[in-house]
Amino acid sequence: MSEKVIAIILAGGKSSRMGQDKAMLRVDGAHLLLRVYQVAVACADNVYVVTPWQERYEDLLPVGCQFIREARYEGDDVKQVETHGPLIGFAQALAEVNVDPEWVLLLACDLPNLEVEVLQGWIEGLENSRAEAIAVLAKHEKGWEPLCGFYRKSCLLGLNKYISEGGRSFQQWLDQNTVDILPDCSTDMFFNCNTPEDLRRRLL
C-alpha cells in the first residue's frame, strides 16, 4: 500500500531530566503522548508509536494504535533498561512500518504545542522539496529540529549505513545530507518539555 505521509512518534526516552516518564505527563487534561498521537492522526494516514515499553501506553492510546516494539538491552541491574536513543529508535521504526509512504512525519512525545494546521500546511508544501532532500526540517541557530519534521522513507538506506559506522547523532547525519528547510520555523511548536521547569512554564 502506498501512502503519502505516515507519522512515527518516539516514546522510548529515559526522561532522566524530567524524573518521570514525559509521555505520561498531563498537559491541559490529557497525557502528552495522547495529545501528540491525536495531532499525528489528524495529519497522517497511519500513525506508529515506537517504544520498548508498549505495555505502559496501551491503555492510554485508542484501541488499534499501531505500536512498534523497539529492541532494547538490559543492564546488569535487571531494572535498568537501556534504550539506544532516538536515531536508532527511528531507524528501527522505519524498517518495520508496513506501508510504503513517500514521507514520514517524525514527532517526539514531549511536544505540548503542536498545531495541526501548521503541520498540514507543511505537508502540502512537501511536494516542492528538492528530490535529493532526505528531510524537510526546521533549522535554528543551534541546528536542525530533528524530532518535529519530515523525512523521506527512502532515507533509511543511508541512515542504516550511518548507524552501522557508529553514528548516533541526528545533527551529524543531517549535516552529511541534503535537507530542505521548513517555512515559518519561528513557531513555538518546537518547544519540548524536558525538565520540571519546562513543564511549569508550559502550564502557567
Ligand X SMILES: Nc1nc2c(ncn2[C@@H]2O[C@H](COP(=O)(O)OP(=O)(O)OP(=O)(O)O)[C@@H](O)[C@H]2O)c(=O)[nH]1
Q: Give the footprint of ligand X on this chain (CB under 6 A).
A: 10-18, 22, 50-51, 70, 83-86, 89, 108-110, 147, 192, 194
Give me the least distance between CB of 198 and ligand X, in Å please. 10
Within 149-168, the residues that bind Mg ion by CB under 5 A are: none
**Is 22 or 31 the residue whose CB approaches ligand X more closely?**
22
**Is 54 or 194 the residue whose CB approaches Mg ion more closely?**
194
Measured in whole angstroms, how far is the alpha carbon of residue 105 from the centre of its chain?
7
Give me the least distance between CB of 69 and Mg ion, in Å please. 22
Q: Contact, 82 vs 75, CB < 8 A?
A: yes
Alpha-carbon distance 184 to 77, whole Å?
46
Which does residue 70 bind out of Mg ion, ligand X, none, counting CB within 5 to 8 angstroms by kind? ligand X
Q: Contact, 86 vs 95, CB < 8 A?
A: no
Strands 73-74 and 179-181, by their bridges, are unpaired
Annotated binding site for Mg(2+): 110
HSE, side-chain direction, 13 A CA sphere, residue 81: 11
H/E segment holding residue 127: none
Say whether residue 194 binds Mg ion (CB under 5 A). yes
Say whether residue 113 binds Mg ion (CB under 5 A). no
Say whether residue 110 binds Mg ion (CB under 5 A). yes
Contacts of 38 (CB under 8 A, 6+ apart): none
Q: Which residues bind Mg ion (CB under 5 A)?
A: 110, 192, 194
